[in-house]
Chain A
Amino acid sequence: MKHRLAPQQYLILLTVMVTASFGDALLSRGMSQMGAVDLHHPAILLRALANLNIVVGIFLLIGFFASYMTALSWADLTFVMPATAFGNVMVALIGRFWLHEHLSLSRWIGILLLTCAVGFVANGPARTEHSNEVELTRVDPGIAL
């Protein structure tokens, strides 16, 4: 069971947070500029690939995907998930302290909840013992598995 992460592994989790949130935000901005897409003409979605916001968003999401896969190779899915959610906190804090946007009370509470969620998970092991592995080790080797 891995309990402690190396600094490089924390850096990968940070990359997951940053690339996911900024990538999604750029996709949303790009698709808002495109307008509604008709289901009967899905090829219009390909035109989205000419939008700069969408192209940069896609590159960020490729970076997210690579770092996410790396994280999943040494951590549980339920450990990595809150890290991706923490990206929302980063965007809100950038909005408050860099763009000087107003953050309502409900957003501050949301930030607090997401921070608590990351705290809960970060205090536990990155990879848990799997119940099936535990069961297998408990089986008498003389009995066919």
Chain B
Amino acid sequence: MTHSASPMLTWIAISMVAALAIAGEVLIAGAMQKLGDLDIIRARSGMPGAIRAVLSSPLFLTGAFCMALNFFAMLYTLSLVDFTLAMPGIASFTYVGNAVAAKLFLHENVDKRRWLAVAFVCVGVYLISK
């Protein structure tokens, strides 16, 4: 099935999905960094303890809310835009945005090798989806 949304609506929808994904992933990554290795928590307090630790993190809850919004925004976008345009578009924006946000907010050491990987992923996803 081909969709015929206007280019402006298409890119607004794709950008919204990507922005929500970036916010959600960075918040969840921040929460997981603060919590520490989940395997260790699970070994110490069992699965219920690990679930309790995750669910009691405000950062995680905010991130999960963003991901839930991202899910519905993605459903909406996929109903407007072709999969072959939506997925590489969302993926490319999200990979670049995540790398920038990870450096700015999570203070990850995004070295040249990781920037190169982000660039390769963007071009690779585009070529595979063509």
List residues of chain A with CB under 8 Å of any chain B CB: 8, 24, 27-28, 31-32, 34-37, 39, 42, 45, 48, 61, 65, 68-70, 72-74, 76-79, 81-82, 85, 88-89, 92, 104, 106-107, 109-114, 116-118, 120-121, 123-124, 128-133
A–B complex contacts, Cβ < 8 Å, 29 sampled: A32-B83, A35-B1, A36-B3, A36-B79, A68-B28, A69-B32, A69-B38, A73-B37, A74-B38, A76-B29, A76-B108, A77-B25, A77-B29, A78-B108, A78-B117, A79-B114, A85-B125, A104-B130, A110-B125, A110-B128, A113-B124, A114-B128, A116-B117, A117-B120, A120-B114, A120-B116, A121-B113, A130-B106, A130-B107
CB neighbors of A among B75-122 (8 A):
75-76, 78-80, 83, 87, 91, 95, 98-99, 102, 106-111, 113-114, 116-118, 120-121
Assembled-state Cα–Cα distance A77/B54 (Å)? 17
A77 to chain B, nearest CB (A): 4
Check: B127 CB closer than 8 A to any chain A CB: yes
- Residue pair B120, A114 in contact (C-beta under 8 Å): yes
Check: B14 CB closer than 8 A to any chain A CB: no
B60 to chain A, nearest CB (A): 8
- Residue pair B35, A73 in contact (C-beta under 8 Å): yes
A40 to chain B, nearest CB (A): 12
List residues of chain B with CB under 8 Å of any chain A CB: 1, 3, 25-26, 28-29, 32-33, 35-39, 54, 67, 71-72, 74-76, 78-80, 83, 87, 91, 95, 98-99, 102, 106-111, 113-114, 116-118, 120-121, 123-130
